[in-house]
C-alpha cells in the first residue's frame, strides 16, 4: 500500500482531493483528520501541513505527495517531481515599496530582505553575486517594510493584491511554482506499479481538463477546410447526416485554441456547434 500525502487544510487541499477523486480514488470521509483509507486503490491518504510534506517524503513516511513546488525547492530535499498539476500557481518574488528604484539584482546589495523562503532567496542572491541580509519571518511578510523591519520582501504572489494593499511593487520573480506530484525515489522502486498507475490516471484527468470535445455540422465541400482548422489528435471523425450534402464532424480541441477554432469554423459555414467537457483522456 502506498501513502499519499496531501495538505491538511489550506490553498492546496480542495484541488488535491478533487484531483484524487477524479482519478477514481474513493476516499473515506472519516473522522480521522490525519489519514483516510482509499477503498478501491492500494493507498492511504495522509493529511499533513504543506510545509512539512517534503520532510515526510524524504523520511519515507509518505511515498507520494501533492504539494507546492516552492516548498520542495526551499527544503532542498532529493525528491522527484513526476507531474506538474496546473493548480496553486504562484511566483516567489522580491517586492519593494512603491517608487523604489530597481535595476536588477544588484539593486538589492546591502539591503535587509524579509522572507519565509531564506534558502531560495539566498540561492538567488548567490547566483547574482549580491550580498544582502535576510530576515526570516514566518507570516505576514508583506508588512515588514511598512514597520521598518526590512527594505524589501521576498514572498509568494498570485494575484498581486496583497502587495498592492501594502504599497509594494513586485520587482523580481525568483521562482515560478505550482502544485506538483512528487515521489520518494525509494518508493518508486518499491511501489513502481502503483505509483505509475496513479501518475497515469492523473495524466488522463489533467489532459481531459485541458481539452474539450467538439461536434458540428458542415457542408461536405467544407470538410477538408474544417479539418485544417482543427488541431486534432489524429484526424477528425466525419459522419454523414441524413440531410443530403452535410456531415457531422467530431474532434478534440484544447482550451487554449477554443475561441479561435470556433470563430474560424463559423466563418466557413459550420453550424450546430456543440462543445462538451471530457472526463478522462488517454492518448
Ligand atoms: O500550513 P501549511 O504548511 O499547510 O500551509 P500554509 O498555510 O503555509 O500555506 P497556504 O495554504 O497558504 O499555501 C500553500 C501553498 O499554496 C503554497 O506553498 C504555494 O505553493 C501555494 N500558493 C499559491 C500560495 C499562494 N498562491 C499565495 N498567494 N501560498 C501563499 N500565498 C499567499 C502569499 O504568501 C501572500 O501572503 O497569498 C498572499 C499573496 O496572494 P495575492 O493573491 O494577494 O498575490
Quote the ligand 1 centre to 11 CA distance (angstroms).
6
Upper half-sphere CA count for residue 223 (Cβ side, 13 Å): 15
Q: For residue 257, what pLDDT is reported?
A: 87
CA 220 to chain CA mean position, Å: 41
As averages over each run of 10 residues, the pLDDT of the chain (283 residues) reads 95 96 87 84 95 96 97 93 96 97 97 98 98 95 96 98 97 98 95 96 94 95 93 82 96 90 95 93 84
Q: Compute the residue count for the chain.
A: 283
How far apart (Å, rounded) are the C-alpha atoms in residues 168 and 145?
9
Q: Is the CB of 13 under 6 A from ligand 1?
A: no
pLDDT score, position 225: 94
Rounded CA separation 138/151 (Å):
17
- Looking at residue 241, the DSSP 8-state letter turns out to be -
Q: What is the pLDDT of residue 78?
A: 86
Is the distance from the beta carbon of residue 115 to the nearest atom of ligand 1 less than 6 Å? no
Q: What is the pLDDT of residue 176?
A: 98
Do 2-88+178-208 and 211-277 have matching folds? no
**Sole residue written with cell 486503490:** 41
CA of residue 83 to ligand 1 center, whole Å: 20
Query: What residue segments make up the domains of the chain, in order of their start?
Result: 2-88+178-208, 90-177, 211-277
Q: What is the DSSP letter of 192?
A: H
Spacing, Cα 155 to ligand 1 middle (Å): 9
* Cβ(66) – ligand 1 distance below 6 Å: no
| Residue nearest (by alpha carbon) to ligand 1 atom 26 | 90
| Mean pLDDT score of the chain | 94
What is the rounded distance in angstroms from the CA atom of residue 51 to the CA atom of residue 186?
21
Task: Give the residue among 51, 41, 61 at the shortest CA–CA distance from 7.
Answer: 51
CATH architecture of 2-88+178-208: 3-Layer(aba) Sandwich (3.40)
Q: Does domain 211-277 have CATH number 2.40.30.30?
A: no
- Calculate how far, in angstroms, residue 50's C-alpha sits from the geometric centre of ligand 1: 10
10 Cβ closer than 6 Å to some ligand 1 atom: yes
Residues 6+ apart with CB under 8 A from 173: 91, 92, 93
Three-class SS state of 29? coil
Angle of CA points 166, 136, 173, to nearest 5°: 60
Which secondary structure element, helix H or strand E, spans residue 109, and what is its range? none
- State how far the Cα of 78 lies from the Cα of 131, in Å rounded to an integer: 27
How high is the pLDDT of residue 113?
A: 98
- Our answer on whether the CB atom of 47 is closer than 6 Å to any ligand 1 atom is no
Question: How much is the pLDDT for 217?
Answer: 97
User: In 3-state terms, what secondary structure has residue 124?
Assistant: helix
Q: State the pLDDT at residue 232.
A: 65
Q: What angle do CA 131, 133, 135 make, to 5 degrees?
A: 150
CATH superfamily, region 90-177: Periplasmic binding protein-like II (3.40.190.10)
Q: Answer whether 20 contacts ligand 1 (Cβ < 6 A).
A: no
Amino acid at each position: 500500500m502506498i501513502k499519499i500525502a496531501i495538505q491538511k487544510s489550506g490553498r492546496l487541499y480542495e484541488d488535491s482531493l478533487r484531483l484524487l477523486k477524479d482519478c477514481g480514488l474513493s476516499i473515506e470521509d472519516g473522522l480521522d483528520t490525519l489519514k483516510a483509507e482509499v477503498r478501491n486503490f492500494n493507498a492511504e491518504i495522509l493529511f499533513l501541513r504543506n510545509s512539512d510534506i517534503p520532510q515526510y517524503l524524504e523520511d519515507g513516511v509518505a511515498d507520494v505527495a501533492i504539494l507546492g513546488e516552492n516548498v520542495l525547492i526551499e527544503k532542498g530535499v532529493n525528491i522527484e517531481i513526476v507531474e506538474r498539476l496546473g493548480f496553486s500557481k504562484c511566483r516567489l518574488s522580491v517586492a519593494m515599496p512603491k517608487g523604489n528604484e530597481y535595476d536588477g539584482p544588484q539593486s538589492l546589495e546591502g539591503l535587509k530582505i524579509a522572507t519565509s523562503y531564506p534558502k531560495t532567496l539566498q540561492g538567488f542572491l548567490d547566483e547574482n553575486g549580491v550580498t544582502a541580509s535576510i530576515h526570516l519571518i514566518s507570516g505576514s511578510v508583506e508588512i515588514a517594510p511598512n514597520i521598518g523591519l526590512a527594505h524589501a520582501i521576498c514572498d509568494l504572489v498570485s494575484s498581486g493584491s496583497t502587495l498592492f494593499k501594502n504599497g509594494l511593487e513586485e520587482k523580481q520573480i525568483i521562482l515560478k511554482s505550482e502544485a506538483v506530484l512528487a515521489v520518494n525515489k525509494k518508493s518508486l522502486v518499491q511501489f513502481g506499479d502503483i505509483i505509475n498507475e496513479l501518475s497515469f490516471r492523473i495524466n488522463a484527468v489533467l489532459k481531459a481538463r485541458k481539452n474539450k470535445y467538439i461536434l458540428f455540422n458542415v457542408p461536405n465541400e467544407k470538410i477538408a477546410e474544417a479539418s485544417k482548422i482543427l488541431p486534432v489528435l489524429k484526424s477528425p471523425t466525419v459522419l454523414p447526416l441524413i440531410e443530403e450534402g452535410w456531415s457531422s464532424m467530431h474532434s478534440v480541441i484544447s482550451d487554449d485554441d477554443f475561441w479561435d477554432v470556433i470563430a474560424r469554423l463559423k466563418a466557413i459555414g459550420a453550424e450546430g456547434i456543440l462543445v462538451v467537457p471530457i472526463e478522462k483522456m488517454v492518448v
